[in-house]
Chains A and B, each alone.
Chain A
């Protein structure tokens, strides 16, 4: 079946603008994750959804970042008033929820550049 998809693949924006990043998880996957990866760095956890609720938002860097998920499917990550330090690849992953932590499958990412 189809994998995790993300859009746009690349986004260039000016400092201060808002951006929306979209993630479509694998069909039937109830868990959805957002990560940020700065150039040459590891994966930084941002937020996790189980169904449409977010039990763990601990990784969101500031109140400029928010995310929502609807229909236990698509999720959007919104960054308001973007700053240059927000430049990174934003990765989405999804997994089945079967008790023990299940394999996360990653999308291709959205490369965000804030000028």
Chain B
């Protein structure tokens, strides 16, 4: 059973639209949640981190966390073709709070 699940996509949105990426996780004790962006052939880079229920905004990006429902989402407003990448959700799992489990990622395609 996967511990962090994401829809693999691709999710296709037109330029200027809102892209909504979702992630569910299995460990109710998880406290730390991250969204990473990975361009093809490159390493993951951090987009957002979130630790508390609710929304966290940073520029065009908003992370949303709902611990009761065990999901975390990432909204990208005014999507640009340069946002086309794979977005990885990562959640800390278990008693060892430094261990992250990554989802398999959602591929986002923003078309002009």
| Residues of A88-107 whose CB lies within 8 A of B | 91, 95, 97, 99-107
Given known A43-B88, A100-B31, A101-B92, contact A48–B99 (CB-CB < 8 A): yes
**B85-109 near A? 1/0 per residue, CB < 8 Å:** 0001010100011111111110000
A101 near B32 with CB under 8 A, answer: yes
Residues of B within 8 A of A103 (CB): 34, 46, 49
Q: How many A-B residue pairs have CB under 8 A?
A: 56
Given known A100-B32, A106-B44, contact A42–B104 (CB-CB < 8 A): yes
A42 near B98 with CB under 8 A, answer: no
Q: How many residues of chain A are within 8 Å of chain B by beta carbon?
A: 25
Main secondary structure of the interface of B (DSSP, over half): loop
Check if B78 is an interface residue, CB within 8 A of chain A.
no
Residues of B within 8 A of A45 (CB): 99-102
B98 near A41 with CB under 8 A, answer: no
Q: Nearest Cβ in chain A — how far from B105, in angstroms?
A: 5
Check if A25 is an interface residue, CB within 8 A of chain B.
no
Given known A43-B88, A101-B32, A106-B44, contact A31–B98 (CB-CB < 8 A): yes
Q: State the CA gap A104–B38 with chains docked (Å).
A: 14
Q: Provide a sorted-by-A list of 13 A–B residue pairs whose CB atoms are within 8 angstroms.
A: A35-B102, A42-B88, A42-B102, A45-B101, A48-B98, A56-B99, A95-B98, A99-B97, A100-B97, A101-B97, A101-B99, A106-B43, A106-B45
